[in-house]
Structure 1
Amino acid sequence: MTTDTPATGRIVLLTASHRVAPGLLSWPAWQTLRTAGRVLCADPAHPQLPYLREAGVTVEIAAPAARELVDACADGATAVVVTSGTGESALTDGLARLAGSGRERMPDLELLPGSYDLPGARLLDLVQVMDRIRAECPWSSTRTHEGLAKYGIEEAYELVEAIEAGDREELREELGDVLLQVVFHARIAQEGDENGEEPFSIDDVAATIVEKLIHRHPHVFGDETAETPEEVKEHWLRTKATEKQRDSVTDGVPLGQPGLALAAKLASRVRSAGLDVPLPSGDGLGYELLALAVRAEESGTDPEAALRAAARAYRDAIRTAEGHPAAR
C-alpha cells in the first residue's frame, strides 16, 4: 500500500517597482494573481490594489502570519502576498523559523518581481527628493537660478578634475553633483518667476534635449549617412547653424569662459568654417597666449587641459620644495 505525499503549494511574495506605473505588471505576475487561492496585502493604500480589483482579483487586506500562510498552502494551493517593500520582515522571519525547525513540510517560497526598473528609473527618485527638499529645506527653498550659478561652474570643474585624474569613484560622485544642478534649476523653473515667465519642468528640459539630439543626428534617426566623426561634426554644425540662424561663426561662443578655452573655441569655429583669419598682432602677453592657444587647438590639444596638467606638476614641485609628498 502506498501513501500519496500531500502537495506543498506555493507562497509567492509579489514585488513591484514604485518607479513603474501601478497596474503595469508582468504576465507571470498576472497569471499567478489570477490563479492564486488567496491574495493578501497588509497596506490598504497600496497603489496596486485598484488595478488588481479592476482586473477581478480579490485581495484580502491583512498582514498574514507565517503559520497561517503555510496552513493555507497545505493542500497545494498558492497564496500571494503583495508586498509593500517594508512591512514583510515579520512574515519572512517567521517563514525562516518554520523552515529551519525541520518539523514543517514547507510550501515552495517564491519571490516574484511583478515589474522591473527601466534604465534611468532612479532619476525619478532624484526628482522626488528634489521636490521635497525644495519644499521643506530652509536653504534650498530660497535658492534662485542666479544664486546657484556659481555652483554649476564649480561642479563642472570638479567633474573635469575627476576625469583628468582617472578616478572613477570620484567621477561617479561628480556626475551626480552636476546632475543635481540640472534638476535643481529645473525645479526652480517649474515655479515660474516674478516676471511672469512661463514655468517649465525637468520633463520639458529632457524633451527639449531629446528633440535636439534626434534632429541633429539624421544619420542615426533619419536618412542621411555619416561614416566618420568629421562627417558627424559637419552634420551637427550645419543643422545647428540652420536652427540658430546665426550671422557669424562666433555667435553662441560664451565670452565669459576661461581665456585659453575661449581662444581655442574661436580658433575651432574659424577652422571648421574654412575661414582664413590672421591672428591680431599686438604687444603684450595676451597676444602671445592667444597664439599659443590657437596653435594648441590646431594640433588637437586642449590648451586648458594642457595648462592644468602643467599646473599640477608645478603644484607637486611646490609640495616637494616644502618637504611634503606630492598630491595625488
Structure 2
Amino acid sequence: MTEAPPPDAGRIVFLATSPRVALGLLSWPAWETLRAADVVFAADAEHPHIPYVEQATGAVVALPDHSPAMAAERLLEAATPSRTVVWLAEDEEFDEELAVALGNRLVNLASAALPELEVLPGSYDLPGAHLLDLVDVMNRLRSPGGCPWDAEQTHASLVKYLLEEAYEAVETIEDGDPLTPGPGRDALREELGDVLLQVMFHSRIAEEHESDPFSVDDVADGIVAKLIRRHPHVFGDVDAPTAEHVAANWEQIKAEEKQRASVTEGVPMTQPALALAAKLASRVRKAGLAVPAGPAPDLPETADELGEQLLATAVAAAAAGWDPEEALRTAARRYRDRVITAEVEVARG
C-alpha cells in the first residue's frame, strides 16, 4: 500500500485542459487549485490560458528555453513543503518527458517530505468536440500556404468524391460485418470519416462565397432545426407510438414545409435509375395516385429470383448494344411526366 504524503508535503499539479473548450472555461477544482497555488508554471509564454489565469491568480512563470529535465528541476525547487506548484500542460510530448524527469528525480531523492504529484483535469471534451479538429484541419488545407489541390476544389469538382465515398460506406455496411469488432467495423469508421470529410469540405468552400457564405455551423444549425421540427413526438406533445406513425408524421410535416406542387419534386433524377424508379413509385403509391408504369410484368416468387431476372435483362440489353441504365432512366423520366399529368387532372376534378 502506498503511504500518504505528509500533510505538509509540497504538491506539483499538472493541470490538463482540452484545446476544444473555450479558453478560460475551467472546472471549479481547477480554479480552486490555481488560486491556492504558490506559483504557476508554463512551458511557453504563449500558452492560451495564461491571460485568464493571470487575471484570476497573478503572474505565470514561463520557461520557454527549458528542456523537460530543466523544467523538472524548477518545479522541484519550487515545491518545497506546504507549497503548491501548478504546471499548465499543453504540449503532450514535452509534458510526458517532464513527468518522466520528475519521477526519476523523486526516486533518487532521500527526503522524507517528497512533493506529491497530481494530474488535475481542468476541462473536458464534450461529445462531438473532436469535430473542431476537423474544422481546423480543413481551414488549414484551404487557406494560403495550405494544400494546392484542396484549394482548387469546387462544389462541382467534388461531386464524384461525394458519391464515391457514400457508395464505399454502403459497401462496407453490406459486406464488411460492421456490427462485429474487427476489420469490418474499423473499415466503417474510416468510410464514415471520408463521408464526413465531404460535408466539411463543401461547407468550407461555401464559407468562402462573397455574397452568401455559410459555414459548417450553419449546416449543423439547419439539420438540428429540421430534426426537432420533424420529431414532435420527441420534442413536442405529438403521440407517435410506432415507427409507422413516425414515418407518417415525417411525410406530413415535410409536405407542409416544402409546399410542393408535385410528389415528384425533391426526387433526385441523377440517382441510379433503378433507385429512381423505385423512389418515384413509392411517392406515387403514398399519394394514392393511379399512374401506370407500363405493362404489368410477371413477377417471380422470390426477391432472389427477381434479382436474377433483372440481371438477365441488363445482361441481354448490354449484349444487344443498349445501355440498360440509360434506358431505365429515360423510362423513369417519362413516368415522372405521366405522374405530373395525373396530378394536374386530379386537381382539375
Q: Name which of structure 1's ranges 172-181 and 128-137 shifts more when overlaid on structure 2.
A: 128-137
Structure 1: which amino acid aligns with 2:98?
Answer: L
Structure 1: which amino acid aligns with 2:86?
Answer: V
Q: Name which of structure 1's ranges 18-27 and 32-41 shifts more when overlaid on structure 2.
A: 32-41
Q: Which one of the candidate residues 162, 166, 171 is aligned to 1:161?
A: 171
Q: Which one of the candidate residues 73, 77, 84 is aligned to 1:78?
A: 84
Residue 337 of structure 2 corresponds to which residue in structure 1? none
For residues 141-190 of structure 1, the C-alpha deviation after alignment (integer angstroms, 9 at most, x for no partner) is 11111111011011110000000012211111100000000000111111
Q: Secondary structure at the match of 1:22?
A: coil
Q: Name which of structure 1's ranges 5-14 and 248-257 shifts more when overlaid on structure 2.
A: 5-14
Q: Displacement of 1:104 after TM fit?
A: 4.3
Cα separation, 2, equivalents of 1:144 and 1:303: 43
Q: Displacement of 1:6 after TM fit?
A: 7.2
**RMSD of aligned alpha carbons:** 2.8
Structure 1: which amino acid aligns with 2:196?
Answer: L
2:125 matches 1:124: no
Q: Secondary structure at the match of 2:293?
A: coil
Residue 204 of structure 1 corresponds to which residue in structure 2? 218
Q: Secondary structure at the match of 1:39?
A: strand
Cα separation, 1, equivalents of 2:96 and 2:160: 46
Residue 291 of structure 2 corresponds to which residue in structure 1? 277
Q: Secondary structure at the match of 2:138?
A: helix
TM-score norm. by structure 1 comes to 0.81
| Aligned 8 A contact 1:260 1:303 in 2 | no
Unaligned runs of 5+ in 1: 282-286, 312-328
Q: Secondary structure at the match of 1:147?
A: coil
Q: Displacement of 1:50 after TM fit?
A: 1.3
2:115 matches 1:101: no
TM-score norm. by structure 2 comes to 0.76
Residue 251 of structure 2 corresponds to which residue in structure 1? 237
Cα separation, 2, equivalents of 1:302 and 1:256: 26
| Aligned 8 A contact 2:81 2:115 in 1 | no
| Aligned 8 A contact 1:13 1:81 in 2 | yes
Residue 181 of structure 1 corresponds to which residue in structure 2? 198
For residues 271-303 of structure 1, the C-alpha deviation after alignment (integer angstroms, 9 at most, x for no partner) is 32233433322xxxxx85xx86xx99xx9x899
Q: Secondary structure at the match of 1:145?
A: coil
Cα 1:125/1:146, change in 2 over 3 Å: same
Residue 346 of structure 2 corresponds to which residue in structure 1? none
Q: Name which of structure 1's ranges 174-183 and 212-221 shifts more when overlaid on structure 2.
A: 212-221
Cα separation, 2, equivalents of 1:130 and 1:41: 29
Unaligned runs of 5+ in 2: 1-5, 178-183, 313-349
Residue 15 of structure 1 corresponds to which residue in structure 2? 16
Cα separation, 2, equivalents of 1:29 and 1:173: 36
Q: Secondary structure at the match of 2:205?
A: helix
Residue 280 of structure 2 corresponds to which residue in structure 1? 266
The correspondence of residues 54-69 of structure 1 with structure 2, limited to 5 A, is: 54-62=55-63, 65-69=71-75
Q: Displacement of 1:58 after TM fit?
A: 3.2
2:156 matches 1:146: yes
| Aligned 8 A contact 2:34 2:57 in 1 | no
Cα separation, 1, equivalents of 2:78 and 2:53: 21
Q: Which one of the candidate residues 243, 250, 254 is aligned to 2:268?
A: 254
Q: Displacement of 1:197 after TM fit?
A: 4.6
Cα 1:93/1:303, change in 2 over 3 Å: farther
Cα separation, 2, equivalents of 1:162 and 1:31: 49
Residue 33 of structure 1 corresponds to which residue in structure 2? 34
Q: Displacement of 1:108 after TM fit?
A: 1.1
| Aligned 8 A contact 1:66 1:91 in 2 | yes
Between the two proteins, the alignment pairs up a number of residues equal to 290
Structure 2: which amino acid aligns with 1:158?
Answer: E
Q: Displacement of 1:66 after TM fit?
A: 2.2
Q: Displacement of 1:75 after TM fit?
A: 1.6
Structure 1: which amino acid aligns with 2:38?
Answer: G
Structure 1: which amino acid aligns with 2:104?
Answer: R
Q: Displacement of 1:100 after TM fit?
A: 2.7
Q: Displacement of 1:102 after TM fit?
A: 5.7
Structure 1: which amino acid aligns with 2:55?
Answer: E
Cα separation, 1, equivalents of 2:275 and 2:222: 27
Q: Displacement of 1:74 after TM fit?
A: 2.8
| Aligned 8 A contact 1:264 1:303 in 2 | no
The correspondence of residues 37-52 of structure 1 with structure 2, limited to 5 A, is: 37-52=38-53
For residues 198-243 of structure 1, the C-alpha deviation after alignment (integer angstroms, 9 at most, x for no partner) is 1111111111111111111111111212111111111111111111
Cα separation, 1, equivalents of 2:15 and 2:304: 53
